Structure 1
Amino acid sequence: SKQAAPGKADTLADLGLTVTKSDNGKGLVVTDVDPDSDAADRGVQPGDVITTINSAKVNSTDDVNKAMADAVKSGRKAVLMQITRDDSNRFVAVPVNQG
């Protein structure tokens, strides 16, 4: 898969999310949510910042893809995303496709 240009939004198709790197380099800012996705069902909104997946810090889409792949490899049915919005943290479990 080709690398996205810096500043360009990346799509995390498995999650139904489009994200971009945050200004401070910590976490990924959600820019778009597929209305039919599990993430949308769980209330993920544009502007939310994904900071960790399964306790692993995510600062790039590569980090996310690795966390997702690790989850699938270890047979997990879902990944736990930590999301920050307006200084409040919450955890959202999103099912992963078992390939």
Structure 2
Amino acid sequence: MGSAVWLFLVVVSIHIYIVAAETDPDDNSSLRAVMSEWKNVPSNWGSGDPCDDKWVGIGCTGSRVTSINLPNMKLEGRLVGDIFFLSELKEL
């Protein structure tokens, strides 16, 4: 019985960790809208999950995007209104 409880706790812990690492759906949509307007974004943008896959320059706390830090990236494009939906964004 003790082994079954231990296994259950491990599985639940892993599931919680995986779910917590996924980017909030609204943040994910907002970042992808911003990305579609910019040129020269980092090569790992667009594939996978921004927080879980650690997109270059994207900082997350839990599932929320809290910073976008892309110095010297020679980005081109406009800053679309979708960026304002990143409600936990503290640093740009």
Q: TM-score by structure 1 length?
A: 0.29
Greater strand fraction, Structure 1 or Structure 2: 1
Over alpha carbons, which structure has the higher Rg?
2
> Higher helix fraction: Structure 1 or Structure 2?
2
Task: Give the structure, 1 or 2, with the largest relative contact order (CA under 8 Å, sep 6 or more).
Answer: 2
